[in-house]
Structure 1
Amino acid sequence: MIDAGIANSRFIAFFDECGDHSLVKINPQLPVFVLCTLIVEREVYARRIVPEIAAFKLRYFPHEGVNLHSRDIRKAEGPFSILQNAEVRERFMDELTALMESLPFTLFATVIRKDAHLKRYGDEAANPYNVALEYSFERILHFMEANRATDLPVIAEARGKNEDNELRASFHRLMTRGTYYNEAERFRRLVCPLAFRRKHDNIAGIQLADLCAHPIARRIIKPNQPNRAFSAIEGHFYAAGRVKGLKVFP
């Protein structure tokens, strides 16, 4: 049975990530781990975000079941092979950029620079996923308290049984124990059921988080490189006084 309060929560959160969280072998082309969280108002999500994403897809594909996956778009693979046509690609990317800029969502992202993290802490270096989860939810906690809200369903893309169980355990520890800077009592006021959905479920919010994650990673790795996708989402980052939605560590 679905909890009535959660089913009618004002906000919904969606998780996705870019890069892996292993410290054993660090990819020099992608030496970061990005945890991206996108928060939307439920009513806005239903009435605007989902329909606008579906309408965008239907301008290029025969149905809205195509999953907007960042890697496939960049590589022009699968259904996105249509992007091998330069004219179609330019029009598609222009429309997608405008869509990402205009849709109403609040963005939180934590970027762990794995090489620097490992260099600083050595064998004591914590799992980048756990670090990213803590930093992200410290900021999300601030957002929820500022909006006087407690219920926040969290939807993450399923990665596999072991990976999902690890995230469940990390999430449970965070929500019950708090963090160094935020006591457990504050987190325990939140009601944040964590659910996993497969890519074929075609969840619009997860796709938006995926489309945000890679541009954020590229921005940190190559800050001076033109990055139109990052520019489109930059205005969505949470900002309230000294609390910012984008955290880079260390």
Structure 2
Amino acid sequence: MLRLDGKIALITGLGQTSDDGWGIGAAIAMKLSQQGAIIFGGNRTLPAAARTKARIEAEGGTCDIQQTDVTNSESTKALVNACFEKHGRIDILINNVGKSEPGCPATMQEEIWDQQVDLNLKSIYLTTHFVLPIMEKQKTGGTVINVSSIAGLRYIGKPQVAYSTTKAAIMQFTKATAVIYADRGVRLNTVVPGLIYTPYTRALAKRYAPGGDEESYMKMRDDQVPMKKMGDAWDVANATLFLAADESQYITGQEIVVDGGITSSTGRV
């Protein structure tokens, strides 16, 4: 089950800054590769993407990478074209780029707002803008999976208005496009992670832990989850795999929330 043998998966944001642990994009790329997909990745920095590529190839998988700025139309088009020119098709598109900057509308600078909208939201428009025409011409269609966040569903305890707004917009972008393309053989869905333990989380702990107490910072995040633990990148990757596989062929315009129960809880997160 959940095999992707021979399918071409284009993934953005698959870079890994160290060999310690797994980020969401890297774990998704590895999981899809383990299930037989051929990976083509775009990432802002090549060294980070190369680390993921090496991990995939060490397990016998296939992964090509290309430096890509997904906020730039020409760079994004070049990525899609390179993947299509090499493989002649794109079966799966995974959009996994994003960044959070603090601030409410009164305090956030306009340039920060614009940067957040470009990175978190425009990037998804650009990749789908170039990939959807390819997918709808394929007899087997294709599937697009966008990675959002529970910050797009509820307030999660810190002011990050641009991040929350763009993550909510991703879900509606996905729903609307899914309906438009439902009769063209192309499915679009969203994975919505909650509090996930990744190398990036550890970096946040180093930066924001009160008094430098990283252990207490991590415990606080664990305690915010009804399951009393953060998820990890593999939890998100497994949900993404399901949406990429044929077993989910009648699912489109939906969200899978991977959050340990936070968005079902009335407690403060």
TM-score of the pair, normalised by structure 2:
0.30
Higher relative contact order (CA 8 A, sep 6+): 1
